[in-house]
Amino acid sequence: MNTTPQPDPKDRPARLTVGVVGAGRVGPALAASLQLAGHRPVAVSGVSDASRKRAAALLPDVPLMTPAEVLQRAELVLLTVPDDALPGLVSGLAETGAVRPGQLLVHTSGRYGARVLDPALRAGALPLALHPAMTFTGTPVDVQRLAGCSFGVTAPEELRLAAEALVIEMGGEPEWIAEDMRPLYHAALALGSNHLITLVAQSMELLRTAGVTAPDRMLGPLLGASLDNALRSGDAALTGPVARGDAGTVAAHIVELREHAPQAVAGYLAMARATADRALDHGLLKPELAEDLLGVLADGATPTTGGTGSTGSTGGTGSTGTPAPDGKPGTERPGETPGREGTEGTEGTEGTDGTDGTDGTDGTDGTDGGAR
């Protein structure tokens, strides 16, 4: 539910004619939402068959026109094109005289602030950057999802109230983003949303390979709880083998991924390193368990594999002996180096230039580059 105080009527923009340049998934949904607030869509531009169908579904009876014609008819223009196309579009519209003084020009790019609209500003337009922090399907459900959706808002200070009022009219929550913070803001959203889809899709593929018939049903409650816990508690919500320091389990994961989904190994290792760093920083991962774990991640191998010794110990990951609870001596296994900090093992036959276990892990430094 929108809890933002409603603006004073004198601060609300008048009922405006609305045009859309770029009938992708976002533009028609925003225009339809503005229509519900009393504004009047009058023109939309779209090139592909898919964009024309979206416009017809969400904005019936609104004519399709060229971008220049859209600007001629509309007082409020939504520029909803891909990020990389936006600067060229703005420059082209300004250079051809399509921009009119006093016209509200709104783009929805997360990457850019209002400065990308400077060519239109010089032509007399009023520039606003309103980025909905939402994923869009190109269907009518998008209009409903805008209720309570946060918008990243950037505009000249004198237009701030107008920008925020438009967001509120669409049912959204305005969140002010400084011009120079827009790229970081957008990177944060991509990390949390776009990459999440990749991770979930990979997880479902692996579950199918493992024989799970309904991976979506299995993941739904787990992912819902994880997301809720993360939003409520941040890093304190971390669980699983990395946060616990279960190096053997992580090593087994890597072996299985190399066999069944080698394309997923790099992503698994990168996320595990990032998780280990955060778990260490927040005191969830014990330093005495981190060394073996980080060694496994650095080598992409099991804790007791690596090195060249034929029968001697191989300390590529620094794992020595089988750890036992509470610092009790570990189970002795032939071919391993003496254990550290209460884990004992028998010294094996000397191999050919075996790797030194302690030096091989090099503590936390091995993960700094990829995780921070």
Is residue 90 within 8 A of residue 116, CB to CB? The reply is: yes
Kindly state the percentage of the chain with pLDDT values over 70.
77
Q: Which pLDDT tens digit goes with each residue over 226-240?
A: 999 999 999 999 999
pLDDT band at 5 (very low <50, low <70, confident <90, very high): low
Q: Which pLDDT tens digit goes with each residue over 289-333?
A: 999 999 999 987 443 444 433 333 344 444 434 344 344 344 333
pLDDT band at 14 (very low <50, low <70, confident <90, very high): low
**Is the pLDDT confidence value at 6 over 60?**
no
Closest CA to 57 of 138, 134, 146, 135: 138
Mean pLDDT of the region 140-147: 95
pLDDT score, position 299: 86
Mean pLDDT of the region 247-264: 95
The class that CATH gives domain 9-177 is: alpha beta
pTM greater than 0.85 = no
**Is the pLDDT confidence value at 351 over 70?**
no
pLDDT score, position 3: 53
Q: Residue 321: how many CB atoms within 10 A of its CB?
A: 22
Closest CA to 95 of 114, 67, 115, 76: 67
Mean pLDDT of the region 259-271: 95
Distances (CA, A) of 180 to 107, 122, 292: 16, 20, 41
pLDDT score, position 355: 38
Q: What single string gives the DSSP state of each residue in 31-80?
A: HHHHHHTT-EEEEEE--SHHHHHHHHHHSTTPPB--HHHHHHH-SEEEE-
pLDDT band at 47 (very low <50, low <70, confident <90, very high): confident
Positive or negative torsion for Cα 81, 87, 92, 95: positive
Q: Which pLDDT tens digit goes with each residue over 131-143?
A: 999 999 999 999 9
Domain map of the chain by residue range? 9-177, 238-366
**Is the pLDDT confidence value at 180 over 50?**
yes
Q: Which of 47-51, 54-58, 110-114, 325-329 has the lowest mean pLDDT?
A: 325-329
